């Protein structure tokens, strides 16, 4: 499902964030990428999502090369194949919970009615259905992350990328989200989870990969 | 980009305001300076009176000079051109209206004259010869009279020979403003010229420029204030963390505010310096024209004007910037250092919800709701667009009005035919063509030296435009220019007497020649035969084939109209540029504020094109509303300024020059607002679309 071959990415004059890194993730697998701050975890995720491009090497997702994609093609790639969950949720403050979740579907051109039905079901499934008309600022961290997950799943992407999904949460909310990730994997989603939280990795990943100084250690 | 744009916007707006202020200020200074100086230096005549047996003193008269013999003759050149001349018999100098010899020498014998150097007209050079009543008259010099009391001077004996008893008296009045009372005290006179009319005529050039320069100056000043306020407020709102850090390390609130004021003042100073240079350079030709009108050495730009503008404008910038930056001083350090998005903002949510339910593409509806989240900034951008649209509307209206004025001043057709010797024969040969004939000569009408034009043929072809009443159509009818009617106190429906013929004035015509002292009637009523014919729909060759002396008519466009159009175009381009940059600045600030949101949009699959569409959509309401506000404002400015320009020129303007905003022109200027908004938004929108999503999200 995901193939990174000898990928290098450097920013400015510093050492490369990723250095000749290779990684293969099979469909339905849940992989946790572990490593300390600055090890290149987020860069790895950005490259898979097409948010960034490698200086060298190739990145393939669902059989499609994303390393050389134009910005437009990369955006369409994300709409169709990638769901993203961020450490700081990245919900839009001026939109309601429902509007946040609807956004990827509306960008894809889905009818509002069909999209609303799916958004409601997703929010209900994730236990935040009653907050549909609320703005994100009024929710707890755990609730916000559940909304972010609902948004990530809106277009039924085959791949879910999660960047430190519990990093901004207290332990109780973190445990909630960990359980959620586990459920999603059980439902058949391919997940790449970036974290430095070993407990989270053990709770929801079938395999762990370690990164240090931009290199994949295995 | 985000640092340079605000500086450029401030510098450009300051440049415009400064340029307009220096130009308008210099013209204001000159409009009541040189003429007064020249009048005092030459001891000008407050009242120049023509008649017989004129008194040397009367109530209100402080001093007098004369009587001088005054001949009203028609001089004919060898080429056949006729020039009406008022020749006074005087010596050089004189106690009142001192005559100054500009070149050549003073007449010493019969048959010699010096010509008056009339403002804006080059008199025939010394050596040029005329024939008057069969006798040759040679120009031996050029002289200047500050009050223009005659068109030429000869020896008293020569003038007396042609004067037939007519004399001229020059008076200085104890109260220079009480000209009418002094004139009444003199009793019946043939003609009387007031120094106030001369002064008004001398000030006409500057009178035309002042209203529209002032209009552009006000637009520039308002735009400057708006841009400075918007830029500084944007810098403050975008620099919360910086403000917090500065205060945390020991900066006082006043020091923080001063820092922001300095950020506005430095580029403003650059604009002021450049605007001062451009304004002074631009003022030179205008002042030269004014100096020429007064026969004074052009004084050059007035330094106090530049100094006053150079102090006043930065002061305005500083005050506006201080007001906008005051928030930075009030901001609590702890709040400034706190994460900016700890809580969601309440503003704009209703609009966002409404937009979300619209059938528009989501990227567009997201943008449309954006102005409601930042209403202050949106209002500033809207005002910038509105001012740009107002400038375009005003300039387009002005250009159209000036075009109409130029058309109203142009009376030539395709071919000009000379007919000095046999007008009837020429008219007969032109019988198969559309033509009109004319002859202009100077006469005394209602006591005033007046250009009288007699017309024959299809006079509608002459293209005279009426400002009131109608064109003459029956025997005994005439039309006159506004300044003539005002100067002689004649109303439409009243009568004038030209060489013993009484004519009824049936309309006021737009005609600025001879300072508007113009009467036009059928040539037959004036006892005239045309000396020129103007033919439409023919070439000079075709007319020459009839055995006539014909030439293609030249372009009659005026220099002043060209200059007015050029200045208006330059100011408009600058104002539109500043308005556009004001939009750029507003959108850049907004895009910076929304960097994280835009990153999220892109992470969720928004394409660059959708990002551009969203950013452009966020400015679309300002473009449309800006046009709705700016176009009527520009029209209102036009309605006020254009008649004021006409008034400055001493005339009413034809209706066609005032009512210029037809559907076509309105449609054209209506797109100005949206175009300014969209062009201003495109650059930052492209920048937003090009920013790497990962970078935008990392910015959090």
Q: What is the pTM of this model?
A: 0.69
φ, ψ for residue A130, nearest 5 deg: -75, -10
Measure the CA–CA gap between B198 and B147, rounded to whole angstroms.
6
- Take residue A103 and report the two structure tokens written for it: 């956004």
* Same structural domain, B531 and B569: no
Q: Tens of pLDDT along B480-515?
A: 988 888 878 888 888 888 877 888 999 998 887 777
Helical segments of A50-155, H only: 71-81, 97-108, 112-125, 141-153
- What ipTM, to 2 d.p.? 0.77
Q: Does A146 touch chain B (CB under 8 A)?
A: no
Q: Look at B344 and A86 and tell me if their CB atoms are within 8 Å.
A: no
Q: Which of A52, A72, A137 sits opposite B694 (nearest CB)?
A: A52
- The overall average pLDDT reported for chain B is 79
> Exposed, middle or buried: residue B151 (CB in 10 Å: 0-12, 13-18, 19+)?
buried
**Does the beta-carbon distance from B353 to A96 stay under 8 Å?**
yes
How confident is the model over B532-580, as pLDDT tens digits? 888 877 777 887 777 777 777 655 445 566 667 777 777 788 778 878 8
Confidence check: pLDDT of B401 > 90? no
CB contact under 8 A, A51 and B608: no
pLDDT band (50, 70, 90) for residue B151: confident
User: Is A102's Cβ below 8 Å from some Cβ in B?
Assistant: yes
Which structural domain range is residue B518 located in? 415-552
Rg of chain A in Å (alpha carbons): 17
Helices (H) and strands (E) in chain B, counts: 23, 20
Residues B229, B193 share a domain: no
* CB contact (8 A) between residue B597 and residue A107: no
CA torsion, points B649, B652, B653, B655, in degrees to nearest 10? 170
In chain B the first and final C-alpha atoms are separated, in Å, by: 20
A156 touches chain B (CB under 8 A): no
Condensed to tens digits (0 to 9), the pLDDT of residues A93-137 reads: 878 899 999 988 888 888 888 889 989 988 988 888 899 999 888
pLDDT (0 to 100) of residue B127: 65
Q: Enumerate the residues of chain B whose CB falls inside 8 A of the CB of residue A88.
A: 700
A161-201 residue pLDDT tens: 988 888 777 777 778 778 888 888 888 889 999 988 888 88
Is A8's pLDDT higher than 80?
Answer: yes
pLDDT value at residue B284: 77
Confidence tier at B388 by pLDDT (50, 70, 90): confident
Residue B488: predicted pLDDT: 80
pLDDT above 90 coverage of chain B, percent:
5
DSSP annotation of B255 reads H
The structure tokens listed for B131 are 């024939």
Contact call for residues B195 and B45 (beta carbons, < 8 A): yes
B392 and B441 in one domain? no
A vs B, Cβ pairs < 8 A, gives 89
Residue B31 has pLDDT above 60, yes or no: no
**Inter-residue contact B86 to B71 (CB < 8 Å):** yes
User: Are A136 and B391 a contacting pair, CB within 8 Å?
Assistant: no
Calculate the alpha carbon distances from A11 to A211, A215, A216, B656, B694 in Å.
17, 15, 18, 66, 12
Judged against a pLDDT cut of 90, whether residue B304 lies above it is answered with no
- Predicted pLDDT of residue B207: 66
Residue in A72, A96, A103 closest to B609 by CB: A72
| Contact flag B692-A135 (C-beta cutoff 8 Å) | no
pLDDT computed for residue B297 by the predictor: 45
Q: Does B181 score more than 90 pLDDT?
A: no
The shortest C-alpha distance from A201 to chain B (Å) reads 23
Based on the fold, state whether residues B569 and B583 are members of the same structural domain: yes
- Inter-CA distances, A38 with A41, A198, A213, B521, Å: 7, 17, 7, 95
For B521, the enclosing helix (H) or strand (E) is strand B518-522
Contact A51/B603, CB-based, under 8 Å?
yes
Spell out the CATH class of A2-216.
alpha beta
| Domain boundary pick from B508, B526, B552 | B552
pLDDT at B348: 74
Residues B404 and B474 in one domain: no
Question: What pLDDT is stored for residue B270 in this prediction?
Answer: 92
Contact A72 B601 (CB under 8 A): no
Q: Domain check: are B516 and B471 in the same one?
A: yes
Spatial contact of A49 and A71, defined as CB atoms under 8 Å apart:
no
Beta carbons of A71 and B690 less than 8 Å apart = yes
- Count of domains for chain B: 4
A157 in contact with B, Cβ within 8 Å: no
Q: Which of B344, B357, B690 sits opposite A135 (nearest CB)?
A: B344
Task: Give the residue from B552, B579, B613 where a domain finishes.
Answer: B552
Beta strands (DSSP E) in B370-447 are 415-418, 434-445
- Nearest neighbour of B348 by CB, restricted to A75, A94, A106: A94
Inform me whether the pLDDT recorded for B111 exceeds 70. Answer: yes
B666 and B680 together in one domain? yes
What's the confidence (pLDDT) of residue B350? 81
What pLDDT does residue B361 have?
83
**pLDDT tens digits for range B308-367:** 888 988 888 888 888 888 888 887 776 776 654 444 455 777 888 888 788 888 888 888
Closest chain A C-alpha to B605 CA, distance in angstroms: 4
Torsion angles phi and psi, residue B129, rounded to 5 = -120, 145
* Per-residue pLDDT tens over the stretch B589-623: 888 888 888 888 888 888 888 889 999 998 988 89
Q: Do B82 and B127 belong together in one domain? A: yes
B605 with A71: Cβ contact below 8 A? no
User: Which of A17, A43, A94 is best to mutate for the B interface (most B CBs within 10 A)?
Assistant: A94
Looking at mean pLDDT, say which of A36-50, B224-238, B567-581 comes out highest. Answer: A36-50
State whether B693 and A136 contact (CB < 8 Å): no
**Most trustworthy range by pLDDT among A193-197, B269-273, B655-659:** B269-273
Query: Closest residue of B to A109, CA-based?
Result: B361
pLDDT level of residue A138 (50, 70, 90 thresholds):
confident
| Same-domain pairing of B423 and B362 | no
Percent helix, strand, coil in chain B, to 5, is 55, 20, 25
Contact A151 B604 (CB under 8 A): yes
Q: What is the pLDDT of residue B557?
A: 46
- The three-state secondary structure class of A159 is strand
Identify the weakest region by mean pLDDT among A3-17, A33-47, B181-195.
B181-195
Distance from CA of B249 to the nearest CA of A (A): 29
Q: d(Cα B286, Cα B319) in Å, to the nearest integer?
A: 32
Cβ of residue A108 closer than 8 Å to a chain B Cβ = yes
- Reduced to 3 states (helix: H, G, I; strand: E, B; else coil), residue A60 is strand
pLDDT value of position B292: 56
Q: Which of B579, B464, B586, B450 is nearest to B518 (CA)?
A: B450
The pLDDT assigned to B339 comes to 56
Compare CB distances from A75 to B344, B353, B602 and report the shortest one's residue: B602
Predicted pLDDT at B124: 61
Look at A51 and B343 and tell me if their CB atoms are within 8 Å. no
Domain spans of chain A?
A: 2-216
Mutate to test the interface with B, among A42, A69, A71 (most CBs of B within 10 A): A71
Average pLDDT in the B158-162 region? 80
Q: Are B694 and A94 an interchain contact pair (Cβ–Cβ within 8 Å)?
A: no
Q: Where do the H-state alpha helices sit in B32-130?
A: 34-41
Question: pLDDT value at position B556?
Answer: 47
Rounded average pLDDT over B270-292: 79
Query: Residues B615-652: pLDDT tens digits?
Result: 999 898 889 999 999 999 999 989 988 888 887 777 77
pLDDT tens sequence across B186-205: 777 777 777 777 777 666 65
- Comparing CB atoms, the residue among A52, A94, A104 nearest residue B349 is A94
Whether residues B614 and B491 fall in one domain: no
The answer to whether residue A136 neighbours chain B at the CB level (below 8 Å) is yes
Residues in B closer than 8 angstroms to A94, CB to CB, are 344-345, 348-349, 352, 369, 373
Asked whether the predicted pLDDT for residue B700 surpasses 50, the reply is no
- Pairwise CB contact (< 8 Å): A78 & B345: no
Coil, strand or helix at B14: helix
Burial B527-537 (b: 16+ CB within 10 A, else e): ebbbbbbbbee
For range B193-222, the mean pLDDT: 72
* Cα-based distances in Å from B306 to A23, B20, B64, B95: 71, 11, 42, 38
Average pLDDT over every residue of B154-182: 81
Terminal-residue alpha carbon distance, chain A: 18
Average pLDDT for residues A152-163, to the nearest whole number? Answer: 88
How far apart, in whole angstroms, are the C-alpha atoms of residue B623 and residue A41? 44
Nearest Cα of chain B lies from the Cα of A104 at a distance, in angstroms, of 6
Whether A136 and B344 lie within 8 Å, measured CB to CB: yes
Spatial separation of the C-alpha atoms in residues B480 and B519, rounded to whole Å: 4
| DSSP string covering B131-190 | EETTEEEEEEEEEE-TT---SEEE-HHHHHHHHTT-EEEEEEESSTT-HHHHHHHH-S-S
CB-CB neighbors (< 8 A) of A76 in chain B: 605, 607
CA distance A12 to B134: 96
Q: Note whether B676 and B620 are same-domain residues.
A: yes
Burial class (CB in 10 A: 0-12, 13-18, 19+), B138: middle
């Amino acid at each position: 499902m995901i193939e990174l071959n000898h990928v290098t990415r450097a920013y400015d004059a510093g050492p490369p964030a990723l250095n000749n890194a290779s990684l293969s993730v099979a469909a339905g697998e849940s992989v946790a990428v572990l490593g300390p701050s600055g090890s290149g975890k987020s860069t790895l995720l950005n490259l898979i999502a097409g948010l960034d491009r490698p200086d060298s090497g190739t990145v393939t997702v669902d059989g499609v090369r994303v390393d050389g994609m134009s910005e437009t093609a990369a955006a369409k790639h994300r709409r169709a194949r990638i769901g993203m969950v961020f450490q700081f949720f990245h919900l839009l403050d001026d939109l309601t919970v429902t509007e946040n979740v609807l956004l990827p579907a509306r960008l894809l051109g889905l009818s509002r009615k069909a999209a609303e039905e799916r958004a409601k079901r997703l929010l209900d499934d994730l236990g935040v259905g009653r907050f549909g008309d609320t703005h994100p600022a009024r929710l707890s961290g755990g609730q916000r992350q559940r909304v972010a997950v609902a948004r990530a799943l809106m277009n039924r992407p085959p791949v879910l990328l999660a960047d430190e999904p519990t990093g901004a949460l207290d332990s109780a909310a973190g445990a909630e989200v960990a359980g959620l990730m586990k459920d999603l994997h059980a439902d058949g989603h391919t997940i790449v989870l970036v974290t430095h939280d070993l407990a989270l990795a053990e709770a929801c990943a079938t395999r762990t990969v370690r990164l240090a100084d931009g290199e994949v250690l295995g | 980009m985000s640092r340079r744009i605000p500086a450029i916007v401030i510098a450009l707006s300051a440049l415009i305001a400064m340029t307009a202020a220096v130009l308008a200020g210099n013209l204001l200074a000159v409009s009541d300076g040189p003429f007064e100086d020249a009048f005092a230096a030459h001891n000008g005549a407050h009242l120049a009176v023509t008649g017989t047996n004129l008194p040397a003193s009367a109530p209100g008269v402080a001093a007098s000079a004369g009587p001088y013999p005054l001949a009203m003759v028609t001089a004919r050149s060898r080429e056949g051109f006729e020039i009406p001349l008022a020749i006074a018999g005087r010596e050089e100098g004189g106690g009142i209206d001192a005559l100054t010899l500009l070149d050549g020498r003073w007449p010493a014998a019969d048959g010699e004259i010096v010509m008056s150097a009339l403002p804006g007209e080059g008199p025939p050079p010394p050596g040029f010869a005329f024939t008057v009543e069969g006798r040759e008259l040679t120009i031996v010099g050029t002289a200047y009279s500050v009050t223009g009391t005659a068109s030429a001077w000869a020896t008293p004996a020569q003038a007396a020979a042609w004067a037939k008893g007519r004399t001229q008296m020059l008076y200085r009045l104890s109260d220079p403003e009480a000209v009418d009372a002094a004139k009444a005290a003199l009793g019946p006179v043939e003609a009387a010229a007031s120094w106030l009319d001369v002064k008004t005529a001398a000030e006409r050039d500057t009178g035309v420029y002042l209203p529209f320069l002032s209009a552009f100056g006000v637009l520039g000043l308002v735009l400057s204030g708006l841009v400075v306020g918007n830029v500084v407020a944007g810098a403050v709102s975008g620099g919360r963390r910086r403000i917090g850090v500065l205060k945390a390390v020991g900066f006082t609130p006043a020091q923080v505010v001063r820092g922001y004021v300095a950020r506005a003042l430095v580029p403003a100073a650059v604009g002021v310096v450049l605007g001062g240079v451009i304004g002074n350079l631009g003022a030179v030709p205008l002042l030269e024209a004014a100096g020429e009108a007064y026969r004074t050495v052009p004084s050059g730009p007035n330094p106090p004007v530049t100094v006053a503008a150079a102090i006043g404008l930065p002061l305005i910038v500083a005050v506006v910037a201080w007001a906008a930056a005051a928030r930075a001083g009030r901001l609590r350090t702890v709040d400034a250092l706190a994460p900016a998005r700890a809580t969601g903002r309440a503003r704009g949510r209703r609009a966002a919800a409404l937009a979300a339910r619209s059938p528009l593409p989501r990227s567009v509806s997201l943008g449309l709701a954006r102005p409601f989240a930042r209403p202050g900034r949106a209002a500033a951008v809207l005002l910038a667009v509105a001012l740009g649209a107002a400038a375009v509307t005003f300039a387009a209206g002005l250009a159209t009005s000036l075009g109409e004025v130029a058309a109203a001043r142009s009376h030539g057709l395709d071919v000009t035919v000379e007919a000095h010797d046999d007008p009837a024969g020429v008219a007969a040969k032109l019988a198969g063509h559309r033509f009109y004939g004319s002859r202009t000569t100077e006469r005394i009408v209602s006591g005033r030296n007046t250009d009288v034009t007699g017309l024959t043929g299809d006079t509608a072809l002459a293209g005279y435009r009426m400002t009131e009443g109608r064109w003459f159509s029956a025997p005994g009818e005439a039309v006159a220019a506004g300044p003539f009617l005002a100067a002689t106190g004649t109303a439409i429906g009243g009568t004038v007497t030209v060489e013993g013929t009484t004519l009824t004035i049936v309309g006021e015509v737009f005609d600025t020649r001879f300072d508007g002292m113009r009467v036009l009637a059928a040539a037959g009523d004036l006892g005239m035969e045309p000396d020129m014919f103007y033919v439409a729909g023919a070439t000079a060759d075709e007319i020459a084939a009839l055995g006539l002396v014909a030439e293609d008519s030249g372009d009659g466009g005026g220099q002043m109209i060209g200059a007015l159009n050029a200045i208006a175009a330059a100011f408009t381009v600058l104002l539109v540029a500043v308005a556009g940059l004001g939009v750029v600045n507003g959108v850049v600030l907004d895009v910076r504020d929304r960097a994280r949101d835009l990153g999220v949009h892109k992470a969720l699959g928004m394409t660059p094109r959708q990002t551009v569409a969203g950013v452009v959509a966020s400015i679309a309401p300002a473009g449309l509303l800006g046009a709705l506000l700016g176009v009527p404002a520009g029209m209102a400015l036009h309605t006020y300024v254009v008649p004021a320009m006409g008034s400055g020129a001493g005339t009413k303007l034809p209706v066609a020059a005032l009512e210029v905003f037809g559907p076509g022109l309105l449609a054209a200027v209506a797109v100005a607002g949206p175009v300014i908004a969209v062009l201003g938004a495109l650059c930052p929108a492209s920048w937003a679309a090009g920013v790497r999503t990962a970078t935008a999200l990392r910015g959090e």
